[in-house]
């Protein structure tokens, strides 16, 4: 289980809920009308934004978020190095005996292409096409939670407007003003809570897991092509380890550039 996600959400709920209880009557924060507006509106808006086949993937996306742990790159490098040793010692065709023991479909496909004698450029094109399709599929899953994170505060504001309208329509009856004001404020709270503690963090987690999986798949492509080229297994191992270090450095530089660009934009607007 991915404990960081569970701990983060539970900790947020406990701290916010604890603050509410310490402040007095917690029952006043429960509003069925507000839940209907925020949660119902968010779900309806999301359904209008995506196709039903995409929405059916939500349970599997949640399973990925809460259960998938970090991929063991060291074990993948070890598998590739062992394949390289066997191929260098006995030939590429002998790798067919190892294919059934490979758990990863992407790696299995790559090794099968090599065994079948596919040209290196074609192997690279096929695997990169599969990788591109995987990235597109992941972006749709992330987009669902991003959209929910955008919609929930918006419907919280809609609930606020509804509550204010109800309150203003009952100005002649002061006893009804409290209910309208409660709806106005609680819906805003619900929208902000769902967006910032649930939907946006889940979208970000999917993004990080996707980036990690893409990096591992690129590592596999590099290893498969090196095996096909007949490179020394020790050289392949060093290359793959250096490949990981280089990718991590590149990602860090990209994040720094984005932060610098953001700071420049903020400075210009100021």
Q: CA–CA separation, 247 vs 210, rounded Å?
A: 14
pLDDT of 246 reads 62
Looking at residue 173, its pLDDT comes to 74
Q: How confident is the model at residue 1 (pLDDT cuts 50, 70, 90)?
A: low
- Higher-scoring residue by pLDDT: 257, 142: 142
Model's pTM, two decimal places?
Answer: 0.79
Helices (H), the chain: 3-22, 32-35, 41-49, 52-55, 58-67, 73-90, 96-99, 105-115, 120-169, 177-193, 200-228, 233-269
Alpha-carbon distances, residue 154 vs 21, 123, 141, 160 (angstroms):
27, 47, 21, 10
Averaged pLDDT, 215-234: 92
pLDDT at 74 (0 to 100): 85
Q: What is the pLDDT of residue 23?
A: 80
Residue 261 has pLDDT above 50, yes or no: no
Residues 6+ apart with CB under 8 A from 229: 120
- Rounded Cα gap, residues 101 and 38, in angstroms: 49
Q: Which two tokens stand for residue 100?
A: 């059934």
Judged by average pLDDT, the poorest of 31-40, 44-53, 129-138, 247-256 is: 247-256
Residue 246 to residue 251: CA distance in whole angstroms: 9
Assess whether pLDDT exceeds 90 at residue 174. Answer: no
State mean pLDDT over 121-147.
94
Determine how many CB atoms are found less than 10 A away from the CB of residue 226.
20
**Is 236 within 8 Å of 226 (Cβ atoms)?**
yes
Is the CB of residue 182 less than 8 Å from the CB of residue 29?
A: no
| Tokens describing residue 156 | 């919280």
Confidence of residue 176 (pLDDT cuts 50, 70, 90): low
Provide mean pLDDT across the span 120-130.
94
Residue 132 pLDDT exceeds 90: yes
Predicted confidence band of residue 163 (pLDDT cuts 50, 70, 90)? confident
How many angstroms from the chain centroid is the CA of residue 201?
A: 9
Residue 258 in this model has a pLDDT that exceeds 70: no
pLDDT in tens, 46-101: 999 999 999 999 999 988 888 876 667 888 999 999 999 999 899 988 898 888 88
Which residues make Cβ contacts (< 8 Å) with residue 126, sequence separation at least 6? 109, 113, 118
pLDDT for 264 beyond 60: no
Mean pLDDT (the chain) is 85
Crossing angle between the packed helical segments 3-22 and 58-67, to the nearest 10 degrees: 90
How many Å apart are CA 81 and CA 211, to the nearest integer? 23
Residue 194, classified by CB atoms within 10 Å of its CB into exposed (0-12), middle (13-18) or buried (19+), is buried
Calculate the CA 40 to chain-centre distance: 23
Between 3 and 268, residue with greater pLDDT: 3
Please give the pLDDT value at position 171: 76
């Amino acid at each position: 289980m991915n404990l960081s996600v569970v701990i983060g959400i539970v900790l947020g709920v406990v701290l916010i809920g604890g603050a509410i209880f310490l402040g007095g009557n917690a029952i006043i924060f429960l509003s069925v009308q507000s839940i209907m507006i925020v949660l119902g509106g968010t779900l309806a808006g999301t359904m209008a934004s995506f196709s039903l086949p995409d929405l059916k993937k939500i349970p599997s996306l949640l399973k990925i978020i809460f259960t998938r742990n970090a991929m063991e790159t060291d074990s993948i490098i070890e598998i590739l190095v062992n394949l390289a040793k066997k191929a260098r010692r006995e030939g590429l065709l002998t790798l067919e005996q190892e294919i059934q023991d490979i758990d990863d479909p992407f790696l299995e496909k790559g090794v099968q292409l090599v065994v079948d004698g596919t040209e290196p450029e074609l192997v690279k094109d096929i695997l990169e096409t599969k990788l591109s399709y995987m990235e597109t599929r992941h972006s749709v899953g992330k987009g669902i939670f991003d959209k929910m994170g955008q919609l929930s505060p918006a419907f919280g504001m809609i609930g606020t407007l509804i509550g204010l309208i109800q309150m203003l329509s009952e100005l002649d009856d002061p006893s009804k003003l409290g209910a309208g004001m409660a709806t106005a404020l609680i819906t805003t709270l619900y929208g902000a809570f769902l967006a910032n503690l649930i939907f946006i963090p889940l979208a970000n987690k999917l993004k990080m897991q996707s980036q990690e999986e893409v990096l591992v798949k690129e590592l596999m492509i590099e290893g498969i092509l090196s095996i096909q080229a007949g490179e020394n297994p020790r050289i392949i191992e060093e290359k793959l380890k250096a490949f990981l270090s280089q990718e991590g450095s590149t990602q860090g530089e990209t994040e720094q550039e984005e932060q610098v660009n953001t700071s420049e934009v903020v400075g210009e607007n100021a």
